[in-house]
Amino acid sequence: MSRSQIIAACLLIVATYLVVVAASRPGPLLVEDCFGRAIGARGLTLVDWDGYIANPAIRFDVVAPAAASYPARLVIRGDHPRLAFDLPSTAGAGGPTKEIRLARAGRTSIRVAIFPDRDGRDEDHALTIDLEDAGGRRRSARVPLHLVDQDREEEADVRPRRLPIVVDFSQDRTGFFEDEARRRVARRAAADWSYFLDGEGAGTVAAGDESTLIWNPDGFRSTRTVKNESPFTGYLLYAYGIDGPDLRSGGEPSPTSGFQTRGADVLPLRRSGGYEVEIKGNYNREGWRADLSDDEWWKATNLRDDRADLDSIAHHEIGHALIFNRLNPRFGDAKQSQSATLRDDRLRAYLGKDPTIDGSDHLPGTVDPASLRGAFGNEYHGKMPRGRWLITKADLIAARAVGYDLRATSAFIPLTLETAELPEGRLGGRYTTILRASGGVPAYQFQVVEGSLPAGLSLDDFSGEIRGVPTRPGHSEFTVRVRDSEESAQAEEVLQHYRLTIAAP
């Protein structure tokens, strides 16, 4: 064999080896956002809406490569306890984990959300994604998560004031609310509802003018009527313990109550009611816990064998007292013992249906489209892991249907493209400007959908930045579309027409 033949044979062996090695590797693990963009180092944006509310679950896709051997095992992990993935998944102190068995190559969609906190600080976290194929070969990706926390100081707030909710413990004859930690939970849950409800112009009730029917300590067996000892504005809520055989807590407006007023208008909303806590526990005798932090939300299962989370039950029962009860005339269209329907155009647009109301004044089967959590009374269900019960956007739209006005919190701020005009550019000079969007659910996607940018300029579809060096003078007209990460029936897009001039030097 000649030298050239030997070299050719060696090259063939090397090439064959490289092909075999390349074939044995599973190929890149691609991660894309809900717009189909490879996110890589850009990462995902999560949002913590202002107010204590269930946050939106953001979709991302993992694209498993065709070159891998299947079935394969896909494992996604988060690095913070407030993070959660859609079910099936687990949550815990070390962060959430989701495991998926892949039968073939292709796209797998996952939702991620963060449990709310109250500090107003942006955060940075990360996801780790591991794929192990049938041959034991592994491929990993790391996805940064940037959290935009939209909580803000009320002093700088231009929104209408909150609806005042006065929590009165004077009728507690069980001693349950002698514990300041329990009082704090009740006040905080009332304030969480109050944050979203517009109290501008709420009427004041004089001392002795409000008659409220509340339960006696024997539970839901006998009642008594009390008068307000002091004037109040908005809603008067009596919080007290009960010790009855039913092993359940409750909340309701009073049938003897007057109605809330706004200026000269009388609203279809009762102005006083009760929040009663079964002192032995929630459907058990395991007692209560008021010590769970937001990082421990996943411990609040509220199952029959566990100590119940007082925060969860307070949010729920105070919701009954304020909103979810047919003593408020607009809530439901049937008698208390029958199922009913809550009919409202905005709620129907959000949910895609009119939600059913059961005999307990719950919304069975209703899942909030933004957060994927069960709506009011459906808290054990939904598409996210069970944990502390939260107010959802669906609950607040229901409150508006019942008769409340809502303050303009970030969950309800529509998507807007704020930039109306673009600055002029110079031929051959560096050009940069940013299209600014707000509202909706970050992150955003910016695209030119009609016309074209001036030659030499490009639009960053993540940031909205237009940049480059113009190569031709003249006028360019184009339309930009911005979309947000909302994927419910109310998903929006905004179009804006621009004219950009590039002047000659």
Lowest mean pLDDT: which of 18-22, 296-300, 403-407? 18-22
Do residues 144 and 27 share a domain?
A: yes
| Together in a domain, 345 and 440 | no
- The number of distinct structural domains making up the chain is 4
pLDDT exceeds 80 at position 155: no
The count of C-alpha atoms lying within 13 angstroms of the C-alpha of 138, restricted to the half-sphere facing its C-beta, is: 6
Instruction: Supply the pLDDT for residue 27.
Output: 59
C-beta of residue 415 within 8 angstroms of C-beta of residue 445: no
pLDDT over 60 at 486, yes or no: yes
pLDDT given for residue 17 in this prediction? 38
* Residue 268 and residue 394 share a domain: no
Same domain membership, residue 314 and residue 168: yes
Task: Locate 77 and state its tokens.
Answer: 């992990």
Examine the domain organization and report whether 298 and 186 are in the same domain.
Answer: yes
Answer whether residue 120 shows pLDDT above 50: yes
Instruction: Indicate the residue among 149, 182, 212 that finishes a domain.
Output: 149
State what percent of residues in the chain have pLDDT above 90: 88
Q: Which of 322, 346, 369 is the last residue of a domain?
A: 322
473-477: average pLDDT: 96
Mean pLDDT of the chain: 93
Which helix H or strand E contains 351, and what residues bound it?
A: helix 345-351
Please list, in sequence order, all residues whose beta carbon lies within 8 angstroms of the beta carbon of residue 80, skipping any fewer than 6 positions away. Answer: 95, 114, 123, 125
The answer to whether position 11 is within a domain reads: no
Query: pLDDT grade, residue 6 (50/70/90)?
Result: low
Do 314 and 165 lie in a common domain? Answer: yes
Q: What percent of the chain shows pLDDT beyond 70?
A: 93
Find all residues with CB under 8 Å of 180, minimum gap 6, and list them. none
Do 166 and 313 fall within a single domain?
A: yes
Name the residue among 477, 497, 502 with its Cα closest to residue 419.
497
- Give the pLDDT of residue 20: 37
Do 69 and 91 belong together in one domain? Answer: yes
Between CA 439 and CA 483 the distance in angstroms is 11
- For the chain, the distance separating the N- and C-terminal CA atoms, rounded to the nearest angstrom, is 69
Which tens digits make up the pLDDT trace of 16-27? 433 333 344 545
Report pLDDT for 10. 45
- In this model, does residue 360 exceed pLDDT 60? yes
- Which residue range(s) make up the domain with 179? 161-322
Q: Which two tokens stand for residue 480?
A: 């930009």
Same structural domain for residues 287 and 196?
A: yes
CATH number at residue 488: 2.60.40.10
User: 348 lies in a domain?
Assistant: yes
451 and 354 in one domain? no
Q: Compare 11 and 283 and report the one with higher pLDDT.
A: 283
Tokens standing for residue 360: 């307990």
Mark which of 149, 174, 200 sits at the end of a domain.
149
We report the CATH number of the domain holding residue 122 as 2.60.40.3450
Cβ within 8 Å of residue 141, ≥6 positions away: 29, 31, 62, 128, 129
Q: Quick check: is 155 in a domain?
A: no
238 and 303 together in one domain: yes
Same domain for 225 and 314? yes
Task: Summarize pLDDT for 156-169 with one digit per residue, the tens.
Answer: 677 899 999 999 99
Least confident of 7-11, 123-127, 212-216: 7-11
Per-residue pLDDT at 2 = 59
- Over residues 54-103, the pLDDT tens digits come to 999 999 999 999 999 999 999 999 999 999 999 999 999 999 999 999 99
**What's the full length of the chain, in residues?**
505
